Amino acid sequence: MPNITSLPVPGKLIFCTMLKELCIRNCQLLCSLSSLQYFDSLRYLVIERCPELTSTSFPVNLGNLSSLKVLRISYCSELQSLPVSGPPPSLETVHVIGCHPELSKTIKKH
């Protein structure tokens, strides 16, 4: 789905609230992940090659992703930081590859 610009709101796709793994790859126009806040069962999240994502693309509070264990972000060149609230406490593993250098610094602070 290279032309998708945002994730669907779970009310429109009921399965989203039960989703355990989500891989978002090669979405060249994706600029909003704000509906991630509703994916509270999500344990594994991969975001790869989404050049339009920025710090404001994420929900304000990633803490709502209370089940998230693994976060992998690769080749999202405009993404400089995660929301100020930082990653959820449940997060065990973070991999950042080929992104803006500030993203790695921001994640290490949390």
Query: What would the mean pLDDT of 81-90 be, rounded to a whole number?
Result: 81
Structural domain range at position 62: 14-109
Higher confidence at residue 29 or residue 82?
A: 29
- Take residue 84 and report the two structure tokens written for it: 């100020």
pLDDT of residue 14: 58
Helices and strands in the chain: count of H runs, count of E runs: 1, 4
The Cα 18–Cα 16 span in angstroms is 5
Residue 51 lies in a domain: yes
Residue 97 lies in a domain: yes
Residue 2 lies in a domain: no
Q: What are the pLDDT digits (tens) for 25-79?
A: 999 998 988 888 888 899 999 999 999 998 888 887 788 889 999 999 999 999 9
CA distances from 19 to 29, 56, 74, 80, 82 (A): 23, 23, 21, 26, 21
Residue 4 lies in a domain: no
Question: Residue 1: pLDDT above 90?
Answer: no
Q: What global pTM score does this model have? A: 0.84
Residue 1 lies in a domain: no
Number of domains in the chain: 1
